[in-house]
Amino acid sequence: MCDAPAAIYTKVKQIEGRLKGIQKVLEKIDQKLDISFYANFRAALDLAQNAFLMDDPNNRKSSALQAINRFLEAEHTYTDLLIAELEYGGEFCADYLLTLYLAYLAEVRCYLELRENNTALRRFQEGKSQTRELVEKCIDLLLTKHPAIYLHPKFHGLIDLSRLTKIYQWKDSSFDENKVFEKFRSQYKVNSDDGNFFTFNFDWDNCVGSLPQAVIASRNIDRGFWGGISDEGKKTILERLPQVISEIESQIETHSRFAAYEHELALINKAKIPLSKWENLKPKESIPEDVSLIYLVPPTPLRI
């Protein structure tokens, strides 16, 4: 099932460490990144871990409920931080999203430990819906107001229409390559004067400065005399765009992995068994040493 509190704790520390490095850079340019919230999140994980090790069922329930309250607080905190970050360029959205996933997983784990399987499933479904909406906003930001820029001739062999279509299909399953092309067509113009029937109608030099910080992703971009981005800086940003597409695909994959937990939660809820028993399920036959993946098939199909 979901990561145990100790594993989630490790991942939270990794995110916190990454943001601390960014915080030092921001301090030099008088911008603040408050990561004190992570200390509260780690404290909640400690509380949950201790709750699961208690012998007295009443103490265990009381501590687990306290931990749940802290995870609920963390979910509200990181949702608000993410929404605010979207307004300021979205540079830290990926880290806040990962933390939000972990908060939901930790909360669900607590409910499972309390044998509140139905509540665990319901809360996960609510978290899945909430994070899905936020991921879509992050992707819209990364695609920019001029998504056709990702089909710039410079990216031949790196980004194609099919790759972009898969991103739009995740947002809306009705999209196909024709629909994506039509969406981009307005950013091209007919111009046969230079021998090309179609000309890319996007002024990169003038519009690069309006790109969100999540796309630029560097506060060390060389600035020109008037504070604008230098030609070298524009070149650096342009060369980064294939990486931005990879980041979008990574966000989609991460959410898909997160969402897949719903099937396991539905099975646990349907089977009506405690988490400890679920985690210890194993085949009756001995397991060969060279086997790394085992399928456990119920004797009768379960409709979930």
Q: What is the pLDDT of residue 75?
A: 94
Q: Is residue 118 part of a domain?
A: yes
Is residue 230 located within the same domain as residue 95? no
Answer whether residue 212 is part of any domain. yes
Overall number of domains in the chain: 2
pTM of the prediction? 0.83
126 with 176, same domain: the answer is no
Do the beta carbons of residue 47 and residue 70 sit within 8 Å? Answer: yes
Q: Identify whether residues 68 and 158 lie together within a single domain.
A: no
- Report the percent of the chain where pLDDT is more than 70: 81
Same domain, 104 and 156: no
Tens-digit pLDDT profile for residues 85-113: 999 888 889 989 999 999 999 999 999 99
User: Does some domain include residue 163?
Assistant: yes
Please give the mean pLDDT across all residues of the chain. 83
Task: Please check whether residue 267 lies inside any domain of the structure.
Answer: yes
pLDDT band at 226 (very low <50, low <70, confident <90, very high): very low
294 part of a folded domain: no
User: Which domain does 92 fall in, by range?
Assistant: 5-144+248-279
Residues 109 and 257 in one domain: yes
Whether 96 is in a domain gets the answer yes
Answer whether residue 166 is part of any domain. yes
pLDDT the model gives residue 228: 67
Indicate whether 140 and 154 sit together in one domain.
no
Residue 230 has pLDDT above 50, yes or no: yes
- 43 and 183 co-located in one domain: no
Same domain (yes/no): 132, 164? no
* pLDDT 10s digits, 117-148: 999 999 999 999 999 999 999 999 999 988 88
pLDDT beyond 70 at 23: no
**Can you tell me the distance from the alpha carbon of 179 to that of 82, in angstroms, rounded to the nearest whole number?**
30
Tens-digit pLDDT profile for residues 240-290: 999 999 999 999 999 999 999 999 999 888 888 888 888 777 777 777 777
Query: Residues 132, 187: one domain?
Result: no
| 238, pLDDT greater than 60 | yes
Q: What is the pLDDT of residue 142?
A: 95
Residue 290 lies in a domain: no
